[in-house]
A = this chain, B = another copy of it.
Amino acid sequence: MEKKRLLVDMDHVMADITTNYIRYYKQATGILVQREDLMGKPEDAAFPQPQLIHEFLFTPGFFRTAPVMEGSQHVMKILNQVYDVSIVSAAMEFPQSLREKYDWLAEHFPFITWQQIILCGSKKWISGDYMIDDHFKNLNYFNGERILFTATHNSHIHKQGYTRVNNWNEVRQLLVKEEVHSI
């Protein structure tokens, strides 16, 4: 039987961009913003100097140094057996991030091959059976099953037509049947 196609986003799903915002912000301003204070707000709104967040996104090294989301490596290894997986990242707005994202995947997810990576401007042309993403704007175009990964910027939004997952354990519960848990 042909494997189902699963599209997985990078930022805020595989890569812990929020932690890197906090780190970079602390380094730039000396101010340590608490993750709890970011909940329910747009990505930059909780930071006293929001324009810094925008600058970080264009700063060489920002995406390359993002921590890996807890549990993502283990669960992605399982999903990569069960599904026809592609990593789909809307990276094109930040051209310096293209190579960084490739290198970041090669380091942290070496079982993902270059054939499985898509870096794009918009995700509306990409088809599949399941999409995991933290942005409604990406999921909205998608005609398969839409899985919203909780991030600080979407935690307060509730809509019909999406299955919310709060962490990678919940991704596994949703997408992996019991018999392959042991991979």
A78 within 8 A of B: no
Instruction: Select which of B5, B115, B119, B121 is within 8 A of A115 by beta carbon.
Output: B121
Q: Could you write out 6 A-B pairs with CB less than 8 Å apart?
A: A7-B125, A95-B103, A118-B125, A119-B119, A126-B127, A127-B127
Nearest-CB distance from A145 to chain B (Å)?
A: 15
Binary per-residue interface labels of chain A (94-126) against chain B in the complex, 1 for a CB within 8 Å, 0 otherwise: 011011001100000000011111111110011
Question: A115: which B residues are within 8 A, CB to CB?
Answer: 92, 121-122
Binary per-residue interface labels of chain A (50-86) against chain B in the complex, 1 for a CB within 8 Å, 0 otherwise: 0000000000000000000000000000000000001
A170 within 8 A of B: no
B125 contacts A86, C-beta separation under 8 Å: yes
Nearest-CB distance from A162 to chain B (Å)?
A: 21
A128 within 8 A of B: yes
A92 contacts B114, C-beta separation under 8 Å: yes
Nearest-CB distance from A2 to chain B (Å)?
A: 12
In the bound complex, what is the Cα–Cα distance between A116 and B96 (angstroms)? 17
Question: A126: which B residues are within 8 A, CB to CB?
Answer: 118, 125-127
Give the most central of A5, A93, A102: most B CB within 10 Å.
A102
A117 contacts B96, C-beta separation under 8 Å: no
Counting from the closest, the 8 A-B pairs by CB-CB distance are A115-B121, A98-B98, A92-B114, A118-B120, A95-B102, A127-B127, A114-B121, A119-B119
Instruction: Select which of B95, B102, B121 is within 8 A of A92 by beta carbon.
Output: B102
